[in-house]
A and B are shown apart, each in its own frame.
Chain A
Amino acid sequence: MIIDHPLLGPRDSSEFTYLGDARLIDRPDPDGGDAAAAFYQYAYLRDNPAGWHRELWFHEAGDRSWLVVTRNTLTHEISKVELASDVARAQGRSK
């Protein structure tokens, strides 16, 4: 596969390491109401869609960016690649 890195352009996927669902960005608030349940769902449950999937790839043999790749799990087509830090900020993560 080829991942079109937002900073570096198209790169072979073998330069990357895969982590999984991009919801791993949404780490729950440890001080929130039911932190135990929230963390269980965050760490273990997955939508696992057959179709479009937002997922985290790390450019390990490259610039060490974490990327959010929108990829179709049925066809492997990639429609969007974003810097994970931009996605995280857009979702309200900061410090």
Chain B
Amino acid sequence: MSQKNRIEGGQINRDVPLNFTFDGRRYTGHAGDTLASALLANGVRLMGRSFKYHRPRGPMTAGSEEPNALVQLRSGALQEPNTRATTAELFDGLSATSQNRLGTLSFDLLAVNDRLSNFLTAGFYYKTFMWPKAFWEKLYEPVIRRAAGLGSLSLEDDPDVYDKGFLHCDLLVIGAGPAGLMAALTAARSGADVILADEDFAMGGRLNSETLSVGEVSGADWAAGTVAELAAMPNVRLMPRTTVIGAFDHGIYGAVERVGDHLAVPQAGKPRQILWRIYTKKTVLAAGAIERPIAFANNDRPGVMTASALRSYANRFGVAVDRRAVIFVNNDDGYRSAEDLHAKGIRVTVVDPRPDVSVLKDYEVLSGAQVIDTMGRLGLTFVKVRLADGSERTIECGALGTSGGWNPNVHLTCHQRGRPRWDDRLAAFVPADLPTGMHVAGAAAGDLSTAGALAGGQRAAQDALALDGSMPPLPEAEDAPVNIMPFWYVKGGERAWLDQQNDVTVKDVRLSHQEGFRSVEHLKRYTTLGMATDQGKTANMGGLAIMAELAGKAIPEVGTTIFRPPYTPVAIGALAGRHRGAEFHPKRLTPSHAWAEEQGAVFVEAGNWMRAQYFPRTGEQSWLETVNREVLATRNSVGVCDVTTLGKVDVQGADAADFLNMIYCNGFAKLAVGKVRYGLMLREDGIAFDDGTAARLAEDHFVVTTTTANALPVYRHMEFVRQCLVPDMDVQLISTTEAWAQYAVAGPNARRVLEQIVDQGISNETFPFMACGNVTICGGLRARLFRISFSGELAYEIAVPTAYGDALMRRIMEAGAAFDITPYGTEALGVMRIEKGHATGNELNGTTTAANLGMGRMVSTKKDSIGAVLSRREGLNTPDDLRAVGVKPVDPTQRVPAGAHLMAAEGPVDATQDQGYLTSACYSPNLGHHIALAFLKDGASRIGETMRVVSPLTDEVVDVEICSPHFIDPEGERLRA
């Protein structure tokens, strides 16, 4: 079958034939075709099935507002459901399949739903399927779910690449029809930076679908000439195939450019689509208008479409949907379709319900007549017309165009919740309440003539950019007035479709009204009108008008449904861009990362950081064996761990000590130079925020450390206090987390290792526990040394500028070789801190107080500090407050699971018996059994008690003894050694 409905003319390139398949059948089209136009050229009108009744459907439009002709484009992992055939650009090798059918497209078993339509009216499901109770999940819902939905996802990872970009301009022009082109030209000639975006692959808008002339040339030629002029200007960026999807705050627009969708495979190195964020000073919206249909019985058969779509297929694509067409109009514009089709040799009859229209045309006009029904199982074959005298006539035809008037495309004007205004002259809503900086021109503003569009485009650009002076004269163009009689639906035909995709008919709107769902929001939600993939672009007005009629109100009194972004649906892949899979978030690598990789380390995510979790050695059977080795080696000799990820804040200035006094709940004013102190920060609500150390390197210089997780929030908080609460303090802050590589060297031999590296003496006398200072290492490299310990061993943290981090780790390993120095990861670090009872994020979980943590006395009452006042509230100081305790199993072979709850040794197990919970747990290789940290009600006075930890989730109950959280070296002798 070779394009039997292809006629002369159009903008397709007949020299470029393109082969494609639909449901496995091979067809040929041309460059410049859409999938829909090519199928229509081949005599295929049936392209889909409706959502609920599975009615046969063909294209209703020739644009992105299409509700019916949805197909699955491509196959395999590239399968793209719900693709509009009316906008899918044809390429050689394109393959598409129909969707939402059980069986074949022409024999869909689910079409039985149509026979049951009397039972499946709006909202029927709210009234039934309730008995027996259990059957909803077991029977009804699975059946409904299986039938629901439209196209299918492939269930495979999307293999395409998406990108994001940012653009800036003086004027964004949305839509490249006559108004948009004129606006862009006017702005560009003034020297402004202009972006012109249009969703179509061919710029020109309706001019490409009309036979009108602009000036001396055809509209399409004028558009092509104007586009060429714009393309030659350096201050203009033309963006065809680009849909502006949303108008966001402060002149930011989202736009999706389909870079590779019209190609069999995207070009090498190019993405499939790009999401642009366009920052513009001003905008001209020239998005045109959308023709709306008229509802009548069986107005949804393939072959029934808007009159302007018939005209587009004939004029732009050289396709006669059928050689015999009926046009059903309530306005003069519909006659253009009749004229253009007639001129192409198509036999046309116009049906016009207006009583006194001129019948003196070259084609038949039936004045005062209405289309009352159609016939044709899989496509239109006959139209039934009721004539002015009440008699009926049947016309055999395969194409029926309806023209119920034009709706200005106000979509983007509503994205910031602006409401459009009703215009009686057009019988349509027009833009009213615009986003800041937006101007509207052309049909989108209600100027439906070409001359009006050209003038409006020029004026909008002038207004937007405040251009002075006279403008060049505009080319001559058609300037027909709008002449319309509002006419929404043919009475008597209740199965008349309003929302064709969701199968919402006039009858459903009537039922909605009858049952009290009368506001536009109720109508929409009860009937699903306007909730299909076209979001009601062709359906909402009809539904609204009928509801207004039923309610005896004017249309604007019933309301408008609000248009929300995006203008047309957007691939989720495009909105994600490259942030997917492993690239979801950037990876932060520590200075020793390359070295740790060489050691075979296993890494773990810590926020965005990748930290070495443990360093397995050949022959080790499990991670636990590795971790036990690392812990024992550190406690028995020496280990090294990268602690660079801890947050670091440099605090400098004459008031630095006073500032820290404000930030920490414990005192810092009297900390001596060369000393480190543990500090606990509270939030202003009195809850523990973060802990760490502050080292005083000079009278006016401290280095503060934070936990890895809170590096950013703590820094932000410190800046808040500095700038907002104590703006005159002489203190400056800077985050130096990434400026310094920092390693913990821990264990009885730590000093012996570092003595080989640090140029200065670090004996226990010259550099005791909690000492700190600027030192040099390896013969002169500046470094900072802190005698602090998280592991509980004799330990140091040594910091060097990050660039030397890798070298320092290698030097430490070299110096430590004699002591069999062992690198340890976050697991061993965790075990050692639990053995010492040190808190981390599991304990500082944002709900615990200093008192809960056993540090209540640290909250100084002698000074003001953040959180001190509110930490004294009643609820944070009850007699049975939680206290940090240690937990060990009575039977040392048993595990104690973190996340378990503490209950009395005997008695019932339920929430009312809850005494506390385990925050952290591990196996202690030093003690030879599991240990845990916990919060227990009144825990401080319950040391020695036997209790149960229960974890019904993991099915564990363990008898435990409550003990001190300091399992190892409670007196701290090792640290001071």
Contacts and interface: CB of A to CB of B under 8 A. Distances in A.
Q: Do chains A and B touch in the complex (CB under 8 A)?
A: yes
A76 B250 contact: yes
Interface string A57-77: 010100011100000000111
B704 to A, nearest CB: 15
A19 B723 CA distance: 14
Contacts of B250: 1-2, 76, 78
A33 to B, nearest CB: 13
Contacts of B778: none
Given A2-B251, A36-B869, A94 B728 contact: yes
B724 A66 contact: yes
Contacts of B723: 65-66, 83-85, 88
Interface in B676-709: 684-685
Contacts of A88: 723-725, 727
A40 B868 CA distance: 12
Interface in B261-279: 279
B793 to A, nearest CB: 37
A27 interface: yes
- Identify whether the interface residues of A are mostly helix, strand, loop, or mixed: mixed
Interface centre among A19, A39, A77, A84 (most CB of B within 10 A): A39
A80 interface: no
A43 B716 contact: no
Interface residues of B, number: 28
B12 interface: no
Interface in A39-65: 39-40, 42-43, 56, 58, 60, 64-65
Interface in B709-743: 712, 716, 719-720, 723-729
Given A66-B720, A75-B416, A36 B726 contact: no
Nearest to B662: A95
B106 interface: no
B405 to A, nearest CB: 32
Nearest to A71: B249
Interface residues of A, number: 36
Contacts of B729: 95
A39 to B, nearest CB: 4
B655 A64 contact: no
Nearest to B872: A36
B720 A94 contact: no
Nearest to A88: B727
A85 B250 CA distance: 26
Given A2-B249, A30-B869, A75-B416, 17 more contacts: A1-B250, A1-B252, A12-B279, A19-B720, A25-B725, A31-B864, A36-B873, A39-B870, A58-B719, A60-B716, A78-B250, A84-B724, A88-B723, A88-B724, A88-B727, A94-B726, A95-B729
Interface of A: 1-2, 12, 17, 19, 24-25, 27-28, 30-31, 35-36, 39-40, 42-43, 56, 58, 60, 64-66, 75-78, 83-85, 87-89, 93-95
Interface of B: 249-252, 279, 416, 436, 655, 658, 684-685, 712, 716, 719-720, 723-729, 864, 868-870, 872-873
Q: Sorted from nearest, which 8 A-B pairs have the closest CB atoms? A: A94-B728, A85-B727, A2-B250, A85-B723, A39-B869, A66-B723, A1-B249, A88-B727
15 contacts: A2-B252, A12-B252, A19-B720, A39-B870, A58-B719, A66-B723, A76-B250, A84-B723, A85-B723, A87-B724, A93-B724, A93-B728, A94-B727, A95-B726, A95-B729
